[in-house]
Amino acid sequence: MRRVGFLLKVRQDKLEEYKAHHKKVWQEMLDALRRTGWRNYSLFMRDDGLLFGYFETPESFQAALAGMSKEEINAKWQAFMAPYFENLSGAHADESMVELEEVFHLD
């Protein structure tokens, strides 16, 4: 199982809305994430909007993203969530995630 960490930045003026949407993620989106191998998926956010995401996947970060890119519901979710992020330069959030290098792990 591969552990993946990534960063994104949520717009300061959209923090509360962003959190509210993640209290009720669309069931079809949750199903797609599970179907494409996203496990133990968590999002953590600082007060300034810096977002840290973590998930585990059987293959790689790229394979997990590729699986989601084939899901129609993902395109809808990404378009819906795009206004909440900074510095996407026209891309969706899942195309702008910065993968972090794992430097330590304790089981």
The rounded distance, in Å, linking the Cα atoms of 90 and 16 is 23
How many residues appear in the chain? 107
Tell me which of 21, 22, 92, 105 is the catalytic residue. Answer: 22
The rounded distance, in Å, linking the Cα atoms of 37 and 1 is 10
**92 catalytically annotated:** no
Tokens 């699986």 belong to: 67
So which residues are the catalytic ones?
A: 22
